[in-house]
Chains A and B, each alone.
Chain A
Amino acid sequence: MNKPLRATDLQPDDDGPLYTAQKKIYPQSVTGPFRRIKWILMAVCLGIYYFLPFVRWNRGLGAPDQAVLIDLANNRFYFFAIELWPQEIYYFTGLLIVAAIVLFLMNSLGGRVWCGYLCPQTVWTDLFYAVERFVEGDRRERMRKAGEGFKLQRAAELALKHSIWLMIAWWTGGAWVLYFADAPTLIKELVTFDAPMVAYIWIGILTFTTYTLAGFMREQVCVYMCPWPRIQAALTDEWALNVTYKYDRGEKRSSLKKAAQLRALGEPVGDCVDCNQCVAVCPTGIDIRNGPQLDCIQCGLCIDACDNVMKKIGRPTRLIGYDNDINIHRRMEGKPEIFKPIRARTVIYTVIIVAIGGAMLYKLANRTLLDVNVLHDRNPVAVRLSDGSVRNGYTVRFLNKRGFDRVVAIDVEGPPNAVIHVVGSDSITPDRPMIILGRDTTTELRVLVDSNSADDTPQSVPVTFHVTDIGLGEVASTKDVFVTP
């Protein structure tokens, strides 16, 4: 067997290998406004994620008192005052659409702000980097240690780092399962090993994924696994603000000393002193001065790094900043900068968000606690009875979303002289069947409707089922058709 060659084995005039091994990145710590924003957002996001399951919300007797709960066993979703049934899954569809459009809107205004500040991958990777920095030291120290051989001190450091990482990862998985069951009860069960196996499995899965994705994969998730960089490239336009190296101001690069000499002579020289700080702090290891690129998650840390240098050398800050191509060209032509947040695409995105969000809020505000759905028999669609009248069969589903049993009457409206029968129920009055709906359940019944419609009646007439709560007077209705053979 021949050993495959490494890139360094090749002659300089070679084209080079198509593949190279991943280069390990040692981002340097940095201070500044963007770093501060990231710390605050990290605290807020993780705080919500880790502690939300413990927030209580009183829903009365028999209902869970957890503010946010995905109750898979009973097919209910609770979000503070909102309770959703499987029949109301469209709220989630709406939420997903709104979320996608919000992402588009963010992108058209400020580039990949999601990636840089809010994406879970970024937030957890940032947290893991903070641990790494705390245990092993900053960039130079870490690079030096990586090059050194094995030492006991080093082993202790690594053990500490991985234990903290694993604890964070384990807590991440633990918090996840708390959203699916009553949190205090589940914690008790988890500790006493009484919890369902699925809870332990999910904790295991999330511990593993958090540990590997935030600890080892890091920027590779953004570059190789995530589809969003590809999508956002198609969504952005020349007006979108992106983390940009203002080459009109920065070029030509030179050393601090040389730049001072040239400036004294009145020669053209840029502000960039090629200190490489923007590269050193970058968590994806790129050089922002190469222009917009797929690997850039636009976290703004290079802005902080560059600003710190500019302050030190007494040059104006924001050599790297949120900017766009249009302004670079305008500055080069000597025109003032302009920013245009109100554009066709931002307006359209906003309108869509408001429309869908408004429709969902409207629907939520008018949510009914009594509902009825109907399904017409298909085989046979209609039956002729011996006296010549016509019978249609329906499967009717009643939804009682209240926390108590109630008695409802069923009326039918539409076909001439319609008479309704409920199969297998004791009707209190023969003409107006009444049934009991259990609390917080659906009830499915077979309902037959007879009509003495004559032979010349139309083939299909609309029929409306009214369900009336005898006690509360709530009415729910649904429409279908009554078919004549």
Chain B
Amino acid sequence: MADHSHHVEIDKVTGTATTGHEWDGIKELNTPLPRWWIWTFYATIIWSIGYFIVYPAWPMVNGYTRGLFGYSSRAELDVDLAKLDQVRGEKMQALATASLEEIEKNPALLALARAKGKVVFGDNCAPCHGSGAAGGKGYPNLNDDDWLWGGTLEQIEKTIKFGARSGHDDGHMGNMLAFGKDGVLTKEQIVEVANYVRSLSGLSTRPGVDLAAGKQVFADNCVACHGDDAKGNQELGAPNLTDRIWLYGSDEATIIDTVTNGRAGVMPAWIGRLDPTTIKAMAVYVHSLGGGK
């Protein structure tokens, strides 16, 4: 216990009174808090009590105290979002009413659609197609000019809306059959047709493989979807086999795998998950990436 009975001692250097407390020769200066500081402190305590009463604060067994104002941050958010919609309303209305072509021809609408599309693409499409839409194995690159289901604005919008093999009634349908697994073609025939297909786009073929036989296998089994000239069919999502773009890879082993086991990549339907204006913006965005027809 400090001895409070002795007279006040003054520290020479600062001219301030000490508290009389001393530790190892070090004395404590008595520098009381300023009055304004004390009052500010009391004011904050009073303020906090008022705050507890006015705003939602205390957790209860079945919920929480609602406060006098019935304030809710969720309601505030709704108001803010409604305000945002109002601010954007006119522009979004223009986007909603304009046709896809009109949007692309109008620089202001195009910029708006691209900005909106880019954000929505990043949230919904980037997991498969990549943030820059460069795609990957099994996921089409949307910057190039090869389109399984068509690259016009309307075709892109349709694909986004209903998807491919998505289960939606209006979605694109069409599978690459498993010719090997289902026993339609022998392993030899598959090797032959794979090498023939490689030859179509100018790729080297395995020495000694009978390309004529491969051509025959192709004519007998593949033309129905890929066409006589192997240029594919966008109605069925059958890719063009004569160009330089291969969704699953162009090496012999991959093509053999494709013919043996088939392919059926799925693009989900976005209608119902995204509103029509958003889908429209995204169609324009994807089209403007460079690959659209």
Contacts and interface: CB of A to CB of B under 8 A. Distances in A.
Contacts of B104: 423-424
Interface in A1-42: 1-2, 4-7, 9-10, 14-15, 17-19
Interface string A374-393: 00011110011111100101
Interface hub of B104, B131, B289 (most chain A Cβ within 10 A): B289
A393 B133 CA distance: 13
Nearest to B143: A383
A387 B105 CA distance: 27
Contact of A387 (B16, B244, B288): B244
B119 to A, nearest CB: 15
A18 B13 contact: yes
A384 B30 contact: no
B244 A388 contact: yes
A386 B245 contact: yes
A426 interface: yes
Contact of A17 (B14, B17, B32, B243): B14
B264 interface: no
Contacts of A17: 13-15
Interface string A344-384: 00000000000000000000000000000000011110011
B290 interface: yes
Contacts, number: 85
Contacts of B105: 424, 426
Interface hub of A4, A9, A14, A17 (most chain B Cβ within 10 A): A4
Interface hub of B114, B144, B240 (most chain A Cβ within 10 A): B144
B204 to A, nearest CB: 13
Given A2-B8, A4-B17, A391-B143, A446 B32 contact: no
Interface hub of B15, B30, B104, B291 (most chain A Cβ within 10 A): B15
Contacts of B110: 423-424
Interface residues of A, number: 34
Q: Is the interface of A mostly helix, strand, loop or mixed?
A: loop
Interface in B246-293: 288-291
A388 B240 CA distance: 13
B290 A1 contact: no
A377 B10 contact: no
Contact of A423 (B10, B240, B244, B288): B288
B244 A391 contact: no
A308 B244 CA distance: 95
A6 B15 contact: yes
Given A17-B15, A386-B240, A446-B288, A391 B144 contact: yes
Given A5-B10, A423-B290, A10 B145 contact: no
B12 interface: yes
B141 interface: yes
Contacts of A448: 290
Interface of A: 1-2, 4-7, 9-10, 14-15, 17-19, 377-380, 383-388, 391, 393, 421, 423-426, 443-444, 446, 448
Interface of B: 8, 10, 12-17, 30, 32, 104-105, 107, 110-111, 114, 130-132, 134, 141, 143-146, 240, 243-245, 288-291
20 contacts: A1-B32, A2-B8, A10-B15, A14-B12, A17-B14, A18-B14, A19-B14, A380-B141, A380-B143, A383-B141, A384-B244, A385-B245, A386-B145, A386-B146, A386-B240, A386-B243, A387-B243, A423-B104, A423-B288, A424-B107
Given A2-B8, A383-B143, A393-B143, 10 more contacts: A5-B16, A6-B15, A378-B132, A379-B131, A383-B134, A383-B144, A383-B291, A384-B244, A386-B144, A387-B243
